Structure 1
Amino acid sequence: MIILSWQKKYKPFVNQPNYSTTTRSVNGWHGELDLVYAQRQGRTTLIHNQNIAPLKVQRPFYPEGQEICHSVILHTAGGVVGGDRLFCKVHLQPSAQALITTAAASKIYRSNGAQARQNIDIQVDAGACLEWLPQETIVFNGAIYRQDLRVELSTAANWIGWEITRFGRSARGEKFCIGEWRSHTEVWQQGVPLWIDRQWLPGSEEVFHSPHGLAGQPVTGSLVYIGQEVSQELVQKARTLFLSPTPSAGVTRLPCGLLCRYRGSGTTEVRNWFTAVWQLLRRSVLARGGCVPRVWFV
């Protein structure tokens, strides 16, 4: 379901020391994470890491060589509750190459009426590439949550991002029948919008079963690549990588990229498909191998 308007609100970062501090209040956590990556003599380095709990990032590692820096974001509180405010800012300087994921699935707990919110602001400079691949988000019944993600791309920059969401703890028979979920993503380049996606899902039995809502399926996902024009052959290949016979997935060719959508019952199903498409894009567009982060298997 699509909303008709959106106004971006983003709290600016303030000067903080390069170590974790705690800002838990009666209104929830106010966590911040500010990361800057730079390319130095063929090696991508995390040159700035500023955080306020419960957000932090593990020490970078290089499973596929010095050019691509892998980072894992941690949410040390274990889950998000009503009133929490999380702000994440990522900047890739020219030619930097980074892959960012999360240590585990994110959990959005039932709210007492207050909205939980996360703002993500990403800047990818010329010749840089960011792979933004968080693990899935589980939205508990009764949660009220909004995420705003904005990406600013320079010329010859590339961005791959995905979002996988499970509505309700379906293994326990829970449905998302109370609450609200919003996800707003915008990708811009030099003042021109390349891709804008605004989703809104109010929790209700009707929306859960509606063909215009979840159609009785608890899991949705979106994968988008923005940066270069892709061939129709690559789009067709991405479609064939989805192995399920049911028509619960689609692939769209964008003017400067590719979009995959999923609606179904299995986190494993969408994750396997998105991983296969991501690896296809890596080989075909980015000219690199398919190095899967080890944290996904923990």
Structure 2
Amino acid sequence: NRPKLLGAVLTILIAQHGQQQQQQHYNKEGVVLGGSAYLTCCLVSDVLLTYGQLPKSYEHVGILARILDSCVRVGNISNEALAQVQGCLRVIFQNASQPTTIETSAPNDPIKSEIVSTPNNNSALPPPSKKIKGEDVDDNAEHKGSGKKSNRVEVDAKAERTFQLKLLRKILTAGIKAMKESDPQGLFLNPVSDAIAPGYSSVISEPMCIRVIGEKVAEMEYGGMIEYERDVELMYQNCITYNIGKEGQWFRGEARRQNKLWRHEILKQAKGLWTSEMGKRKRALDRAEKAHRDEKTAKKSLSVERITAHSIGA
């Protein structure tokens, strides 16, 4: 209830600020970016960020605060930064009935799971196995020329692939949750638009964000861990590529920080969990196959005993 109450109060404050303060300082000679009228935006953002990631409806406030902080550090407001600030302010104070150009909604994660601590495992992920427990086959299949299936218990390739994709989805969903927690300001959460970052689409040919990665995970579009790695690396590299110069120094540093954290902790745990779970599955299937062989051997022994007993009785 407390986050909802805070959200309601901030909605009222920001709405009043937009209606009363914006026009008061608009077109005032010598006033930069509305002057102190917009200080409340930064303060609200700081308060929210103190308690974790910004609510979806206030993420653009966080973007505004970061841009202003960056300008203060550099000691200058460039035309590009000014355009970014103007884009943020338009979205923050636009009428609620007008369509928003910034996408802030995030998909519901279908799987609630967490990455757990696993033993260090720096080896590459094993290729998907195509043999596990499947359907029982005829006992006489081992005879050549019989036209029947092999005696060995084999896995249905389609069922095994489905198992692997579901396991991958569960692990990556936990990884995405950890990525969101490592990005408290929501810098990489949603797609970047030209309204917030002018000329972004002309610089970045393949945008990527946590939201898109999450959607691909939910739809099981990743066939393996390598594809997921590629998208995450692309996301961080896009940020570094676009944010050049002194003004983009903070953004580049944050991208490198989160990338390092993701690779050394989140990805490492994900790979370790994958290896561990696939190892458990293989051992379980090996036990099942052994039990199947033992059962078949026992049946053959019983059959031989019956035949022998029948011959003696005759």
- Would you tell me which structure has more helix in proportion to its own residues? 2
- Would you tell me which structure has more strand in proportion to its own residues? 1
Q: TM-score, normalised by structure 2?
A: 0.28
Q: TM-score, normalised by structure 1?
A: 0.29
Higher relative contact order (CA 8 A, sep 6+): 2
